[in-house]
Amino acid sequence: MNIGNKIKSLRTKYGLTQEELADRSELSKGFISQVERDLTSPSIATLVDILESLGTNLKEFFNESIEEKIVFKKEDYFIKMDEDLNYEIQWIVPNAQKNMMEPILLELKENGRSNIDYPHEGEEFGYVLAGTIIVHLDKERYTVKKGECFYFKAGVDHYISNKGKTKAKVLWINTPPNF
């Protein structure tokens, strides 16, 4: 972070001259000039005085917001194919493992299935975009067709499979992330 530039930006935002800021913070105009040009660094106490004169504080001043990506395109996806289990998985939100939920697109070819997911905290949701799948929850089986969805707590071994002759495609979201 460039402290000098940020102070200058705040000063000009509020229409203050260096001299006015210096007077308000009981410093010299020359010192403010040197701080803004990063020729000197203020002590913490002096920085607090400057920031109070600019109507802010240390916490707000150093709180840099990180620009959050909202829209993800196909070129952002990470794709993995598993020839043994006959599926393709697309992580459609990169680095989603740092978030509260993780959405994927899972395409199951004929006789394909996902990896077995062992019991964990959290929940699973899926919406079938194409084909018909079977949700395996421990020893229970549930058939889910195109346009239908599934939802369960992930407290037992679980996976999905495709016993159909056509591809099945599922938007699958779990929390916490673990794909």
Q: Is residue 69 part of a domain?
A: no
Q: Is residue 30 part of a domain?
A: yes
Rounded-to-integer distance, Cα 48 and Cα 45, Å: 5
Q: Is residue 171 part of a domain?
A: yes
Domain endpoint, select from 27, 62, 97: 62
Rounded-to-integer distance, Cα 149 and Cα 126, Å: 5
Rounded-to-integer distance, Cα 140 and Cα 135, Å: 8
- In contact, 144 and 133? CB cutoff 8 Å: yes
Q: Is the pLDDT of residue 19 over 90?
A: yes
- In contact, 87 and 112? CB cutoff 8 Å: yes
Q: Is residue 67 part of a domain?
A: no
Does residue 58 share a domain with residue 105?
no
pLDDT in tens, 88-141: 999 999 887 778 899 999 999 999 999 999 999 999 999 999 999 999 999 999
pLDDT in tens, 132-150: 999 999 999 999 999 999 9
Does residue 57 share a domain with residue 90?
no
Q: Is residue 78 part of a domain?
A: yes
Residue that is written with structure tokens 């990063």 in the block: 38
Domain endpoint, select from 62, 83, 107: 62
Note the pLDDT of residue 66.
66
Does residue 90 share a domain with residue 39?
no
Does residue 35 share a domain with residue 111?
no
Q: What is the CATH number of the domain that holds 38?
A: 1.10.260.40
Does residue 84 share a domain with residue 58?
no
Residue 179's pLDDT band, with cuts at 50, 70 and 90, is low
Helix (H, G, I), strand (E, B) or coil at 173: strand
| Intra-chain end-to-end CA distance of the chain, in Å | 35
Does residue 144 share a domain with residue 88?
yes
The total number of structural domains that make up the chain: 2
Does residue 51 share a domain with residue 79?
no
The string of DSSP codes covering 87-153 is EEEEESSTTGGGSS-EEEEEEE-TT-BPPPB---SSEEEEEEEESEEEEEETTEEEEEETT-EEEEE
Measure CA 172 to chain center: 17
Tokens of 178: 């673990």
Rounded-to-integer distance, Cα 137 and Cα 130, Å: 21
Residue 14 is part of which domain span? Answer: 3-62
Note the pLDDT of residue 57.
92
Does residue 7 share a domain with residue 78?
no
Average pLDDT score over the chain: 92
The DSSP symbol for 169 reads E
Average pLDDT over residues 81-92: 94
